[in-house]
Every structure is written in C-alpha cells, then in structure tokens.
Amino acid sequence: MKPIMWIDICGILVLILLAMEVATLILLRRLNTRFASLDRALAQAEARGREQAQRLESLDRLRAHQQLAEEAINTGATLAREVHQDFASIPFSILENIEPVAARNAHKLHDRISNDLFAAIGNLNRDFGRQLRGESDRSKTSGAPTPSKSDNKPKR
C-alpha cells in the first residue's frame, strides 16, 4: 500500500468542492425557478387587486348616483305634490262659492287620494332605493304611507 500523498488529498478536496459547487448551482436554479414563480404570482395578485379596487370605485360611484337619483325623485315628487295641490285648489275654491259642502267633501277626497298617491310614489322610491342598496326590510314601517311636509298643512 502506498501512503496518501498531499496531491491525493488535494484531489479529493477538489472533487468535494466541485460536488458542493454543483449542488449549490442546482439549488440556485431551483430557487430562481421558485422566485420566478413567486414573482408571477405576485404580479397576478397585484393585477387582481387593481381590478378589485376599480370595481369598488365603480360601485362607490354607482351608489352615489343611485342616492342622487333617489333624492332627485323624492324632491321632484314633493314638488309635484305641492304644485298639484296648489293648482287643484283653484277649481275647488270656485266650486266652494257655488256649493260649499260638496266642494269641501270633494276637496278632502281629492287631497286624500292625491296624498296617498304621492306617498306611494315616495314609498316606492325609498323601497327601490333600499333594494338597490341591499338594505333589509327591518327598518321598514308597517306599510303606512310616509307623512309629507304638505300633510301638515291645515285642511281646507
């Protein structure tokens, strides 16, 4: 048997270092593949996040427009009620000079029907708005018409 020489030990150390370098390169390649995969997943998640933010922004704009439309309809219905009652009072005041009792009864009936109609429009607008907003019916009243500002006027 021949003695182990320094050259043999150096050769073995070189082979060990070469094996370690190969193992390190394989590990680095796997890590690079994994990092690339994670980068793609992160880019996809960021894209989904941007899309979700755009959807939320659109939903906020839609809610604001819905609320504005609901308020506009409510204001328009209230104004229409007041204008209608003002115009309707003209023939009733003329009729009151001719037949006062019949005129008052007809005027009361007209006002009750008119108020119920405009209250129904207001309720429909409010309920439709709630449906669009996804609100529950828990806060809804028993179905009675909502009193309006003109309901507080003295009866003629």
* Domain range list for the chain: 6-152
Q: How many CA atoms lie within 13 A of 130 on its CB side?
A: 12
Structure tokens at 113: 């029907």
The C-alpha angle 59, 61, 67, rounded to 5 degrees, equals 100
pLDDT band at residue 1, thresholds of 50, 70 and 90? low
Pick from 118, 123, 113, 114: which is nearest to 144 by CA?
123
Report the predicted TM-score, pTM, of the whole model to 2 decimal places: 0.55
Distance (Å, whole) CA 147 – CA 92: 23
For residues 130-150, average pLDDT: 58
Q: Which residues neighbour 120 within 8 Å (Cβ) at sequence distance 6 or greater?
A: 145
- For 49-100, how does the pLDDT look when each residue is reduced to its tens digit (9 = 90+)? 999 999 999 999 998 999 999 999 999 999 999 999 999 999 999 999 999 9
pLDDT greater at residue 71 or residue 147: 71
Q: Higher confidence at residue 149 or residue 76? A: 76
* Statement: residue 45 has pLDDT above 90: yes
**The dihedral sign for the CA sequence 112, 113, 119, 123:** positive
Average pLDDT (23-39) is 96
